[in-house]
Amino acid sequence: MDSSSTEFSIAGIPVGPGETREIYLKVSESYLSGSVQIPVTVIRGREPGPTAFVTAAIHGDELNGADIVRRLIFDIDHEKLSGTLIAVPVVNIPGFLSQSRYLPYNRDLNRFFPGKKKGNNAERIAFRIFREIVRKCDFGIDLHTAAGGRMNLPHVRGDMTHPRVRKLARAFGATVLVHQPGVRGSLRREATDAGVPTILFEAGETGRFSNKVSLSGLRGVLNVLSDMKMWTEHDPKRPPFQVIVKASEWIRAEKGGILDLEATPGELLYEGDLVGSILNPFGRTVTQVRSPVTGIVIGVTTAPLAIPGTGVVHVARLKKTLPWVERSMKRAKKRKAALILAKSKAKS
C-alpha cells in the first residue's frame, strides 16, 4: 500500500505524509459507560513506502512490548521514514488496567481475530483492531513476553513456510526462529492469512521491563524496517547464528517440591543434561530433572515450586543444525571474551 498517493486515516482521523499523530481508537465501553480506547501513534513518512503495524500487550500483563514501542516511537522520525508506521503500545486496555492477560470474562483477545462486528466483547474489540489497523498494513510485528511465571529467550515465532513471514523473521535478527503459524484466532495467524504477513516476538517475562529485552526488541523492529527499506538510519547487525526450529517442547517435573533450576535461556542442552533438582522441605533432593532432548533453551519457569506436570524448561530441538550452532556459539563466546579483554586493556 503506497502511502504517498492515498488518504490514510485511523478512526476517521487523517494522517498526511510527513505527519505524526497520536490517536485514540475506541474499541469498546467500560462498566462506567466510558470509552475503552487504544492509544495509536501513526508516523507517516514523507516518502512513500510500505505500511507496518507494531503491536504490544495484546496480553495485558505482557508489558515489555510497550517499552519497545515507546523507544521505537522516540527513534522514528516521519521526515526520514519511507511509508507508514502504526505503533500500538497497549492493545488490551482492560487487561492492562487490571494487570491481567485477559479481557473481561477471562477471554484471551489473541484467540478472537479477525473478530466479528456483532460478536461477543472480545470479537468486537478484535474486529475494530483488525479493520482499523491490521488490514491497512503490508506487514506486522506483534510483541509478547512469556506467560506469567515464565521467562523467554528473545525469539521470533511465525509461519516459516510462508516466504514473506520467513523474510521478516530472518530480518528481525533473533538467533532462534520458531516455526509456529499460531492457533486460529491469533493475530499473527489471522493477519498472515488475510495477506498481512506477521511475526511475533517473544521475550522476557510478564509484569516487568528488562532493558536487555527492550534493546533486542527495538533492534529487531528497526532491523525489519531497514530490511523493508522504510528506515535507513539504522545499521542492521547479523546475529551470531540463526536457526529455524520446527519442534519445541516443555520438560516437565515428575515430582512435587522446591525447584532448584540450573538451565538458563539461550544455553545448549544435551540429552541427559541436568536441568534442575526438586528438593523436599528438608532440602534433600527428591529427584533430578534431566533433558530428554538436545536443543536450545527458549524458555524457563520463574516459579520456585513444582508439582508433577509443571513445565520447567522449554527446549527448541536441534538436530542437523546442532554442529553449526555449537561452532557459532563458540565463535561468539570467543569474540565476546576478546572484546572484554580489549576493553579492560584500553582502561588500564
**Residue 289 CB, nearest approach to Zn ion (Å):** 25
Among 144, 155, 162, 179, binds Zn ion (CB under 5 A): 144
Phi then psi for 303, rounded to 5 degrees? -80, 140
Interface region with Zn ion, contact rule CB under 5 A, candidates 60-68, 172-180, 215-223, 335-343: 60-68
Cis peptide before 181 (omega within 30 of 0): no
Q: Which helix (DSSP H) or strand (DSSP E) does residue 260 occupy?
A: strand 257-261
Tell me whether residue 8 or residue 102 sits nearer to Zn ion (CB atom): 102
Tell me whether residue 59 or residue 170 sits nearer to Zn ion (CB atom): 59
Tell me whether residue 58 or residue 225 sits nearer to Zn ion (CB atom): 58
Tell me whether residue 59 or residue 107 sits nearer to Zn ion (CB atom): 59
Tell me whether residue 59 or residue 314 sits nearer to Zn ion (CB atom): 59
**Residue 62 CB, nearest approach to Zn ion (Å):** 5
Among 59, 170, 188, 219, binds Zn ion (CB under 5 A): 59
The answer to whether the beta carbons of residues 187 and 142 sit under 8 Å apart is: yes
Q: Does 234 bind Zn ion (CB under 5 A)?
A: no
**Residue 248 CB, nearest approach to Zn ion (Å):** 16
Interface region with Zn ion, contact rule CB under 5 A, candidates 22-30, 42-50, 55-63, 229-237: 55-63
**Residue 100 CB, nearest approach to Zn ion (Å):** 12
- Report the alpha-carbon distance of residue 232 to residue 226 in Å, rounded: 6
**Residue 329 CB, nearest approach to Zn ion (Å):** 27
Q: Kind of pairing, strands 82-88 and 47-56?
A: parallel
The answer to whether the beta carbons of residues 103 and 92 sit under 8 Å apart is: yes
Helices of type H across the chain: 64-75, 93-98, 121-132, 163-172, 187-193, 211-227, 322-347
| Greatest C-alpha distance within the chain | 71
**Residues 6 or more apart in contact with residue 242 via CB below 8 angstroms:** 170, 173, 174, 175, 176, 177
Cα angle, residue 312 at apex, residues 247 and 143 outer, rounded to 5°:
60
Interface region with Zn ion, contact rule CB under 5 A, candidates 136-144, 156-164, 169-177, 291-299: 136-144
**Residue 242 CB, nearest approach to Zn ion (Å):** 23
Interacting residues with Zn ion between 104 and 133 (CB under 5 A): none
Tell me whether residue 148 or residue 292 sits nearer to Zn ion (CB atom): 148
Binding map of Zn ion across residues 61-90, x = CB under 5 A, - = no contact: -x----------------------------
Count of alpha carbons within 13 angstroms of residue 237, beta-carbon side:
6
**Residues 6 or more apart in contact with residue 346 via CB below 8 angstroms:** none
Tell me whether residue 144 or residue 189 sits nearer to Zn ion (CB atom): 144
Q: By CB under 5 A, name the binding residues for Zn ion.
A: 59, 62, 144
